[in-house]
Structure 1
Amino acid sequence: MQDHLLSELGQQLRVDSVRAAAAAGSGHPTSSMSAADLMAVLLANHLHYDFEQPRHPGNDHLVFSKGHASPLLYSLFKAAGAISDEELLTFRKLGSRVEGHPTPRLPWVDVATGSLGQGLPIGVGLALARKRLDKVDSRVWVLCGDSELAEGSVWEAVEHGWYEHLDNLTAIIDVNRLGQRGPTRHAWDLGAYARRLHAFGWHTIEIDGHDVTAIDRAYGDAASTVGRPTAIIARTVKGRGVAAVENREGLHGKPLPDPEEAVAELGGVREMAVPVLGPAAAGIARPSHGGPLTLPRFDPGEEVATRDAFGQALAALGTARGDVVVLDGEVGDSTRTELFAKEHPERFFECYIAEQQLVAAAIGIQARGWTPYASTFAAFFTRAYDFVRMASISRADLNLVGSHAGVAIGEDGPSQMGLEDLAAFRAVHGSTVLYPCDANQTARLTAEMAEESGIRYLRTTRGKTPVIYPPSESFPIGGSKLVRATDDDHVTIVAAGVTLHEAIAAADRLAQEGIHARVIDLYTVKPADTQTLRAAADLTGALVTVEDHHPEGGLGDAVLEAFCDGYPMPPTARLAVRDMPTSATPAQQLAAAGIDAEAIAAAARQLVGAAN
């Protein structure tokens, strides 16, 4: 498209952004107006995309990391003929697909954005998938705001993009000088951004973000750069084109005060339709299933760490399923993902100690239809929790595996102990939370996870635990297991993982005293097996819950929620890690936390005694 038409298209995008925000009575039109020329040139001359086939294997990807500029994105979709003007003006209305920040309710949106600092890390994941997995020559374009470059996640992405030589990735940085409350850290100092990005190995281009000729040339330069990603650093003006709001503070996130006058100043409403460049013909040779799944088998009575079983099962799953991809946070020798890396190096990604990038890359990879497993220590997923939260909004399908959970890790001390993870992942919308107690259960659940949707979290244990289930046992997600049960049980003990073995030992002690204890292995912490829990409570009249986790939000709360909505709640004792742990052996840790067999037996005795 010629320069004068590109300028007109930029004005159209500004006008439609103003109109959308005015119709909603809220939004971010000035942030959209600054990047309008950048996006006009991209849409008309450089983006290869078939809007009628959003899953076309040759399509480029466009990620709006500055998701608050959604009016601009929706105006792009209108110009491309993907949405109507009527739909554009339903912006932020109940039931509308054009939400305040983009989500994949629109088929041309790969991932939800709006929490700043996420678009570029996810773009790295998309670019990795395109280059190393799909092996397709398409590009990933990420529109970033200058404010979000203060986020550490951006710099994790910048380094990873250089390390992986992602020359199919371009960051378009809209340097409009103003953030939410005033000037950004570097204002219009393009060189400050360029120096930092160049130091990380990126190809950098500094331009006037309203000069369509310079923008067009920069995109061509990015597409021809080999061996490293490109950052286009564009000086722009917030509120460009409307004198009343241009480069003015205090207008962030507000519709224009006089939208009709602004539209007139911008030259009026336009109805340009852009013939977007189509994608090249492409086919993805997705690896086929290698055959039936042959999981590792462990004999009851063996002592096996569940992390070991996870690693072996993951490698076997990778052999059976060519869509499985594994990402590691430089702890693969501990989490045992290194077993997958040895068997399937072409589908293994080392993300190093950058947990935000670890999860972000997995989000980008799953958006391309692959099945990622991302693993690190349970405690370290807290660094990436916002990415997990946003992944649920993206309707992402992720398998996350946290090892070294709870006080049972022993001498390493509290900095390494995941004691909040069950609560954190239970709080994620639509999530599945699994906590296996033995090797055969772990292997089965590792495979079951791949068949689920949404965010799936599996908690593994560092130390060895006894194998109590035969290899043939099944463990449907959403279920539980009755490990000890008689018709004369006086109390129910609910546990999972490490504490399940302590619960069995406690039940054996109590049996010697004539107290029959029912033991439930609640290996699915979410969704919990409400039916089994209620039935046990009705029969025994008393519950003990025990978990290697803080009391807030974990297994105990999952059990209590089974008795909501007026269902009678039996007397309950909740055992959990309530004090701050220190360094000690695993056995000492369990005893000090009051979650070992002796503590469980004591709680059960007290409940049974009170009932009598």
Structure 2
Amino acid sequence: MTRIAARMAGETRDDTHLAMLDALSRKALWLSNWMIHHANHIRPNASGVKVGGHQSSSASMTAIMAALYFDVLRPEDRVAVKPHAAPVFHAIQYLFGRQTLDKLKAFRGLGGAQSYPSRTKDTDDVDISTGSVGLGVAFTAFASIVQDYIRAKSWARPDMPEGRMIALVGDAELDEGNVYECLLEGWKQGLRNTWGVIDYNRQSLDGVVREGLYDRIAAIFKAFDWRVVTIKYGARQRAAFAEPGGERLRAWIDACPNGLYSALMYQGGAAWRARLQDDLGDQGDVSALIARRDDAELADLMANLGGHCLDSLLDAFHGIDDDRPTVFIAYTVKGWGTPLAGHKDNHSGQMTEAQIHALRDAMGVRPGHEWAPFEGLGIDEAALRDFLDRVPFNTGASRRLTAAPVPAIGPRASGGAATQATTSTQTAFGRIMDTIARTDTDLARRIVTTSPDVTVSTNLGGWVNRRALFAADEIADIFQRQRIPSAQKWHFSPQGQHIELGIAEMNLFLLLGAAGLAHELFGERLLPVGTLYDPFISRGLDALNYACYQDARFMVVATPSGVSLAGEGGAHQSIAQPLIGMSQDGLASFEPAFADELAVIIDWGFNHMQRSGPKTPDPVSFLADAAGGAVYLRLSTRPVDQPRREMTSELAEAIITGGYWLKAPEPGCEVVIACQGVAITEAVAAAGLIGGARRNVAVLAVTSADRLHAGWHAAEKARAEGAMDAVSPVERLLDQVPDHAGIVTVIDGHPATLAWLGGVNGHRVAALGVDHFGQTGTVEDLYAHYGIDAQGIAAAARRFTRGRRRRG
């Protein structure tokens, strides 16, 4: 029997239980408001700049979060908290004993509780980081898909309970387009065990939402097979509706415009009475219903919406006993329980000293006892502590799980099939993945690949043919069944290891983020690999940043890159992406030129994705690799002649560090050509054009400007702190170059990627690359157009050699 059915049958909820929940909800409301007030008006603030904190947006979520955290949730459930409700979350964690008083006092300060819940910055029990509005909503859906993926596998832990993925979301967050991309993808993937709880306070940052929004929200979720549960009326309102005249009051509430309801909430009981008497007076029963309540009681009745009524919330939440995705639309008042309730400007508004003191008095909190967890609740402290100890969600064990690392199989094993006389890095990637797919290893079993409808064109076809696509139910390849020739075997099964997505890069990075946290969310190690076209990283950049902020572990393979995708024109050519790779925290960016480099990087990448050590820089590379992170590979479709060489440990280490000498400088060196990626062909040709027998041109193969730059920056910081012997890899490389030499940097991408090399030792630099939108043409035409062909590189280099001769 569901909770709702039981209530209809006459069962009553324990009054003591409700009293405990109500007391803790009020305490969370007080603590969250005081936390924000303290940060803005009590804590020293030398700059005088507002700290902020969203008192009103927190208040509207208080009862919802109290019902969930103190009653409904189980340890296996995972929650993405509405960003602006972070103070309520921290207050609840404080009551659980998972957050410290010092961090509450330092809210929004250095080392304090974070402005928005953060897995990496907060020390309390954050499941999913939020902050970029809308992304938390979608992240829970993909986390549920990942949970289903894991549970379908033969290697999954049988003792791991199945949790619900829950998003707490403000109604204005639903303006974000990624929410609807996620709903469509969830429908395709058979989404289950996912809840959305919408704080329907009918206000956004700048004002009141449009009329009819509820109907649109409900219709959209229903269109994608979500159950819609509306929590509109509180218990006191429902009791009033049962009185004579109550149905007319209900009709008035239902017809009241959002802006008017908010304004009356702010004005209070007298305003409610005047308006209701104007609209409903002289109607006998309904007039008497209004008259039976004084102004305070009337205001309390009209504020008793479902999202603030614990009894209504618990009925709704406990009324769900299946795994169908469900959205709860909970009517609330922004600023509920505070003097700011309902005002259209209250999003960033804060209570005055007089208002916060009035709220403190109403809460029964004595001056000087504002932080006391159980002050003013009127319930025995021991009873409250015992209640909190028995809350199912408040488990003593850590809810952040662990999983053992999976050993990689080594660059020779993964790259043996990749080395041909001439090949592209994209082709080599496909061969490496196909080689791994052939193995019966834990690594092969734990890889999960995904792509936004470009699986074949990013060379994942071989992997998918061997490892199949994932779906909860078996789906045969109709073309194969009909014996129609096709290179691709599009077979779906629960054991499949590729999750095919629609064309939405935001969804790709959200899925990679969720899969990249599987070891901590679900206790199972996944090695997610996502492929997409390099120019379209920008379309999913917010979600990529969000995934890295969560410290998710994944490998994103972006191909083809640069203007080498010549025939597609500027819309499909990438320019700024190398700079994204350099600037994105938590992401190690590589752009190899050769297949053997790629094999080394992929092997290293699978290990890097699983590391969890300290963030202390290595004394040789000055990179914090022990901490691990995500990996970005920028690949190309352009074939390049492959070097015949032995992959020594020294060369492999240099590739991972970020660069090595393809042609080392000699004492008379006048020019260094530093190249990242497939423009290496032009770099080598240019060296031949200008070097001749004098051998005065060196070639530096840069595999990762990101890592060379990071090491240099870290070494400079170390020297500033007194470690004068600190030397980074790029400094060791360029120390071999004479002071008089110049450096020509070349990349099929933005020239700023490598231009900084001149700052390492003060060498002159000519930075070549692409800094304007591309256009259609052949690779040869475009490289010549942008001056990154052999002749363009040679011309830039000759400026340095001519200058050297003049000075001689």
Residues 155 and 585 (structure 1 numbering): CA distance in 2 closer, same or farther, change over 3 Å?
same
Q: CA deviation at 1:69?
A: 1.4
Q: 1:520 aligned to 2:700?
A: yes
Aligned 8 A contact 1:299 1:471 in 2: no
Match of 2:550 among 365, 387, 394: 394
Aligned to 2:663: 484
Q: 1:414 aligned to 2:552?
A: no
Aligned to 1:264: 361
> Residue 137 of structure 1: SS of its match in structure 2?
coil
Residues 267 and 38 (structure 1 numbering): CA distance in 2 closer, same or farther, change over 3 Å?
farther
Looking at structure 1, the residues matched to 428 and 532 of structure 2 have their Cα atoms a distance apart, in angstroms, of 15
Match of 1:236 among 332, 335, 343: 332
Aligned to 2:346: 251
Structure 1 range deviating more: 323-332 or 500-509:
323-332
One-letter amino acid matched to 1:496 = Q
Q: CA deviation at 1:581?
A: 2.3
Q: CA deviation at 1:287?
A: 9.8
Aligned to 1:296: 415
Aligned to 2:687: 507
Q: 1:131 aligned to 2:148?
A: yes
One-letter amino acid matched to 2:69 = L
Aligned to 1:24: 39
Residues 363 and 301 (structure 1 numbering): CA distance in 2 closer, same or farther, change over 3 Å?
closer
Aligned 8 A contact 1:311 1:340 in 2: yes
Residues 221 and 132 (structure 1 numbering): CA distance in 2 closer, same or farther, change over 3 Å?
farther
Q: Decide which structure has greater helix share.
A: 2
Match of 1:147 among 172, 178, 188: 172
Q: CA deviation at 1:549?
A: 0.8
Residues 146 and 471 (structure 1 numbering): CA distance in 2 closer, same or farther, change over 3 Å?
farther
Q: CA deviation at 1:237?
A: 0.6
Q: 1:193 aligned to 2:217?
A: yes
Q: CA deviation at 1:107?
A: 5.1
Aligned length: 590
Alignment of 1:280-295 (within 5 A): 289=406, 292-293=409-410, 294-295=413-414
Aligned to 1:44: 70
Alpha-carbon RMSD across the aligned residues, in angstroms, is: 2.7
Residues 298 and 491 (structure 1 numbering): CA distance in 2 closer, same or farther, change over 3 Å?
farther
Alignment of 1:78-227 (within 5 A): 78-96=94-112, 98-104=113-119, 105=121, 106=123, 108-134=125-151, 136-185=161-210, 189-207=213-231, 208-222=306-320, 224-226=321-323
Aligned 8 A contact 1:33 1:240 in 2: yes
Match of 1:573 among 742, 759, 766: 766
> Residue 396 of structure 1: SS of its match in structure 2?
coil
**What residue ranges of structure 2 are gaps of 5+ in the alignment?**
1-13, 41-51, 153-160, 232-305, 366-374, 469-495, 520-525, 609-627, 709-728
In the TM superposition, what whole-angstrom CA distance separates every residue of 1:43-73 from its partner, at most 9, and x where no partner exists? 1222112xxxxxxxxx221111x21211011
Residues 436 and 94 (structure 1 numbering): CA distance in 2 closer, same or farther, change over 3 Å?
same
Q: CA deviation at 1:556?
A: 2.8
Looking at structure 2, the residues matched to 24 and 382 of structure 1 have their Cα atoms a distance apart, in angstroms, of 36
Looking at structure 2, the residues matched to 290 and 94 of structure 1 have their Cα atoms a distance apart, in angstroms, of 38
Aligned to 2:596: 440
One-letter amino acid matched to 1:63 = A
> Residue 328 of structure 1: SS of its match in structure 2?
strand
Match of 1:494 among 648, 651, 674: 674
Structure 1 range deviating more: 206-215 or 388-397:
388-397
Q: CA deviation at 1:175?
A: 1.0
In the TM superposition, what whole-angstrom CA distance separates every residue of 1:124-163 from its partner, at most 9, and x where no partner exists? 2221222211564111111111111011111112222222
> Residue 604 of structure 2: SS of its match in structure 1?
helix
In the TM superposition, what whole-angstrom CA distance separates every residue of 1:203-247 from its partner, at most 9, and x where no partner exists? 11111212323322322344x234x411111111111112x2111
Aligned 8 A contact 1:111 1:367 in 2: no
Q: CA deviation at 1:186?
A: 5.1
Looking at structure 1, the residues matched to 25 and 687 of structure 2 have their Cα atoms a distance apart, in angstroms, of 72
Residues 284 and 572 (structure 1 numbering): CA distance in 2 closer, same or farther, change over 3 Å?
closer
Looking at structure 1, the residues matched to 314 and 196 of structure 2 have their Cα atoms a distance apart, in angstroms, of 14
Structure 1 range deviating more: 13-22 or 312-321:
312-321
Q: CA deviation at 1:315?
A: 4.4
Looking at structure 1, the residues matched to 566 and 148 of structure 2 have their Cα atoms a distance apart, in angstroms, of 42
Looking at structure 2, the residues matched to 87 and 605 of structure 1 have their Cα atoms a distance apart, in angstroms, of 60
Aligned to 2:647: 472
Looking at structure 2, the residues matched to 317 and 80 of structure 1 have their Cα atoms a distance apart, in angstroms, of 46
Match of 1:331 among 454, 476, 501: 454
> Residue 450 of structure 1: SS of its match in structure 2?
helix
Aligned 8 A contact 1:411 1:585 in 2: yes
Looking at structure 1, the residues matched to 408 and 603 of structure 2 have their Cα atoms a distance apart, in angstroms, of 14
Aligned 8 A contact 2:185 2:502 in 1: no
Structure 1 range deviating more: 138-147 or 260-269:
260-269
One-letter amino acid matched to 1:546 = V
Residues 44 and 388 (structure 1 numbering): CA distance in 2 closer, same or farther, change over 3 Å?
same
Residues 432 and 290 (structure 1 numbering): CA distance in 2 closer, same or farther, change over 3 Å?
closer
Aligned 8 A contact 2:417 2:431 in 1: no
Structure 1 range deviating more: 345-354 or 142-151:
345-354
Looking at structure 1, the residues matched to 436 and 317 of structure 2 have their Cα atoms a distance apart, in angstroms, of 41
Q: CA deviation at 1:284?
A: 9.8
Residues 312 and 80 (structure 1 numbering): CA distance in 2 closer, same or farther, change over 3 Å?
farther
One-letter amino acid matched to 1:237 = V
Looking at structure 1, the residues matched to 673 and 68 of structure 2 have their Cα atoms a distance apart, in angstroms, of 61
Aligned 8 A contact 1:440 1:469 in 2: no
Aligned 8 A contact 1:178 1:184 in 2: yes
One-letter amino acid matched to 1:95 = G
Rg larger in 1 or in 2? Answer: 2
> Residue 62 of structure 1: SS of its match in structure 2?
strand
Structure 1 range deviating more: 331-340 or 462-471:
462-471
Aligned to 1:276: 391
Residues 423 and 262 (structure 1 numbering): CA distance in 2 closer, same or farther, change over 3 Å?
same
One-letter amino acid matched to 2:799 = Q
> Residue 568 of structure 2: SS of its match in structure 1?
coil
Structure 1 range deviating more: 207-216 or 508-517:
508-517
One-letter amino acid matched to 1:418 = S
Aligned 8 A contact 2:684 2:699 in 1: yes
Q: 1:62 aligned to 2:60?
A: no
Match of 1:342 among 465, 474, 487: 465
In the TM superposition, what whole-angstrom CA distance separates every residue of 1:520-547 from its partner, at most 9, and x where no partner exists? 1000111114224422433661110011
Looking at structure 1, the residues matched to 203 and 400 of structure 2 have their Cα atoms a distance apart, in angstroms, of 43
Aligned to 2:518: 368
Residues 83 and 519 (structure 1 numbering): CA distance in 2 closer, same or farther, change over 3 Å?
same
